[in-house]
A and B are shown apart, each in its own frame.
Chain A
Amino acid sequence: MRKKLITLTVNGDEHELAVSPNETLLDVLRNEVGLTGTKRGCTAGSCGVCTVNGERGQAVLSCISLAVEWDGRSITTIEGLEEGGELHPVQQAFLEYGAVQCGFCIPGLIMTAKALLDTTIEPSENEISEALAGAICRCTGHIKVKEAVRQAAKTMREQRIQDGSREG
């Protein structure tokens, strides 16, 4: 099994890595890049705790994606959301609404919510449920999480309006 040299941009930083074909994106993020915010759960594409965002902002299950498939591409992980000491609106909303029990699923839930809110400015209840169906909280459920996502959607809409008027 020959290792392959890949270039992977994680949260804006370029990494040159020698990876085995059978290493997943999750393996490489945690073991080679050293970013352990992305969690290892079922490793079977069911629970969503390993969710990161691809270059188009899409939700990616890093446990069933080969690292070699990401050569020359870029991803965002939970570590890349905070900007200049300020939490991302989704992170802030999860804090405010106490959408956390044990916390293990939170990175995956936040990256899932961010993927939704980056493409859907005003998500319907159905769209929120649909997106969160792929990221599971084993402690309780999605009630608080959904409240947080609704709040984050609102904050992000307001930010967009502010940014727009500043530019205009």
Chain B
Amino acid sequence: MQLPPFEYVKPQTLAEGLDLLAEHGDKAGIMSGGTDMLMNMKFRLEMPEYLVSLSGLDELKQIEPLPNGGLRIGAGCTLTELAQHPLLSERFPALRDSIQSVASLHVRNFGTLGGNVCLDTRCWYTNQSENWRDTREGCFKTDCDFCHVIKTAEKCHALNSSDTAPILMVMEASVVIASAVGEREVNMLDFYQNDGVEHTVLKPGEIVIAIIVHPVTARTIYAKLAQREGLDFASGSFAAAINGSNDKVKEARLVMGSVGPEPKRLADSERILIESGLTDDAIETAAQSARPALGEVTNLYTPSGYKRRLVRTMVREALQELRAQ
């Protein structure tokens, strides 16, 4: 597969990069490691006139320990670099696990944290070659008003398969977003939206420049199931953060990934754990309640019935493991 033609622009400073994005508007595409963007371009899902490479921006490659015990991680840090970083293993082991589980070592050598957080949504209908799509009708992702996977859908249900999203959400990390007009900070819990076409709150001209992880007092865990341990996107992923003891859960945040355009928070299951603690019964009920929380899950690389069973098992096993921490 060849890449489509484009003009390559490589800013030397963040300010220059943000100006370029403002100037070129929707004609501009952004890449850092390129493992997601270049693939989408090869499939002709993205055809930017200008490709702005963020790979030369040292401002995005810093890992700064914060005085409160948190970390400010530049969006341009590669996943390999982060997986090997001692502070991450020491303070945020579940985040490290999620990073380590992304694709293959080859991909992690280039893929960045910012790229994984913004990872484009995928669907078995649209994420095919251009020739394949040419023989069929368009869909929400390709500017038509129809979904061929969930025929009654009113919007795109493509999957968000980011491995780092669920764990960053339960840790309530912040996303630092910048554009030519300024910076803003968004809680990871508010960063995604339930629409496969516009799956993040990023506006045109905005990019993610850093992720701030706050010190975590909770016990955390990240679990991922995929067809193969290496390389594959998750069939399902699950992250949990639990504050308090096994008997008395003060706070619980549970998020499932790879089940829709946004990672889904399991509010009912969280309530059950807070009410009853991490008992066998409560864990089983929490796992059962995760199934109906999923909503439409037919737009998947795995059948929806399988996915629902898988989610129940993942929630149960991960919570049991977390209880033993």
Contacts and interface: CB of A to CB of B under 8 A. Distances in A.
B7 interface: yes
Contacts of B35: 45, 61, 64
Contacts of B5: 1, 20-22
The B interface is mostly helix, strand or loop, or mixed, namely: loop
B106 interface: yes
The A interface is mostly helix, strand or loop, or mixed, namely: loop
B2 interface: yes
Contact of B110 (A20, A44, A46, A60): A60
Nearest to B37: A64
Contact of A134 (B7, B39, B51, B230): B230
A112 B104 CA distance: 11
A68 interface: yes
Contacts of B80: 58
Given A64-B34, A64-B38, A24 B231 contact: no
Interface in A101-144: 112, 129-131, 133-135
Contacts of A129: 230
A61 B106 contact: yes
Nearest to A21: B8
B6 A134 contact: no
Given A58-B80, A66-B38, A69-B55, A45 B7 contact: no
B20 interface: no
A134 B34 contact: no
B3 interface: yes
A89 interface: no
A125 B43 CA distance: 36
Contacts of B38: 64, 66
